[in-house]
Structure 1
Amino acid sequence: MNIYDNKRAVWYVVPAIFILIIFIFLPIILNFYNSTFRWNAFSDNKVFVGLEYYKTLFTDPVFYTALKNNVLYAVISLVFQVLGGLILASILEEKFVRRFQPFFRTVLFIPSILSLAVVGLLWNMMYQPNIGVINEFIRAIGSEDFSFPFLGNPDTAIYAVIFVSQWQYTGYITMLFLVAMQKIPRTLYEAAMIDGANRYHTFVHITIPQVKEMILVATTFTVVGSFKVFDEVYIMTSGGPGHATEVLGTMLFNSGFRNDEMGYASAIATVIFFITIILSFLQLKVSKTGK
Structure 2
Amino acid sequence: MQRRRFRHALYAAPALALIALFVYYPIVENIRLSLFKFSVFQPGMRYVGLENYRQALQDPVFWKALANNLCYAVTSVIFQVGAALVLAAILEAVIGRRLRGLLRTVYFIPAAVSMTVAGLLFQFLYQPDAGLINSALDTLGLGRFAHDWLGDPDTSIWGVINMSQWQSFGYTTMLLTVAVQRIPRELYEAATVDGAGRIRTFFAVTVPMVREMTTLLVILTVSGAFLVFNEVMVMTGGGPSNSSQTLGTWLYASAFTGDDMGYAAAVGTVMFVITFVAGAVQLLHSRRKAVAA
SS at match of 1:45: strand
Partner of 2:215: 216
Distance in 2 (CA, whole Å) between partners of 1:180 and 1:162 is: 26
Task: Say if 1:89 and 1:175, in contact at 8 Å, map to a contact too.
Answer: yes
Matched, 1:162 2:161: yes
Distance in 2 (CA, whole Å) between partners of 1:96 and 1:174 is: 15
> Aligned residue pairs: how many?
290
- Tell me: CA distance 1:25–1:144, structure 2 relative to 1, closer, same or farther (3 Å): closer
**Superposition deviation, residue 60 in structure 1:** 0.9
Partner of 1:8: 7
- Tell me: CA distance 1:204–1:143, structure 2 relative to 1, closer, same or farther (3 Å): closer
Partner of 2:150: 151
Partner of 2:274: 275
Partner of 1:41: 40
User: TM-score by structure 1 length?
Assistant: 0.95
Aligned-partner residue type, residue 256 of structure 1:
A
User: TM-score by structure 2 length?
Assistant: 0.95
Aligned-partner residue type, residue 268 of structure 2:
A
- Tell me: CA distance 1:260–1:105, structure 2 relative to 1, closer, same or farther (3 Å): same
Q: Which moved more, 1:189-198 or 1:145-154?
A: 145-154
Task: Say if 1:57 and 1:63, in contact at 8 Å, map to a contact too.
Answer: yes
Q: Deviations over 1:216-243 (max 9, x none)?
A: 0111111111111111111111111112
Partner of 2:197: 198
Distance in 1 (CA, whole Å) between partners of 2:96 and 2:128 is: 38
Backbone CA RMSD of aligned residues:
1.6
Task: Say if 2:134 and 2:143, in contact at 8 Å, map to a contact too.
Answer: no
SS at match of 1:96: coil
Distance in 1 (CA, whole Å) between partners of 2:211 and 2:51 is: 43
Partner of 2:56: 57
Partner of 1:70: 69
- Tell me: CA distance 1:193–1:143, structure 2 relative to 1, closer, same or farther (3 Å): closer
SS at match of 1:44: strand
Aligned-partner residue type, residue 82 of structure 2:
L
**Superposition deviation, residue 152 in structure 1:** 0.9
Aligned-partner residue type, residue 16 of structure 2:
I
Matched, 1:240 2:242: no
Task: Say if 1:91 and 1:97, in contact at 8 Å, map to a contact too.
Answer: no
Partner of 1:254: 253
Aligned-partner residue type, residue 249 of structure 1:
G
Contiguous gaps of at least 5 residues in structure 2? none
Distance in 1 (CA, whole Å) between partners of 2:84 and 2:96 is: 16
Task: Say if 1:69 and 1:247, in contact at 8 Å, map to a contact too.
Answer: yes
Partner of 1:125: 124
Partner of 1:89: 88
Contiguous gaps of at least 5 residues in structure 1? none
| Aligned residues with identical type, % of pairs | 45
SS at match of 1:128: coil
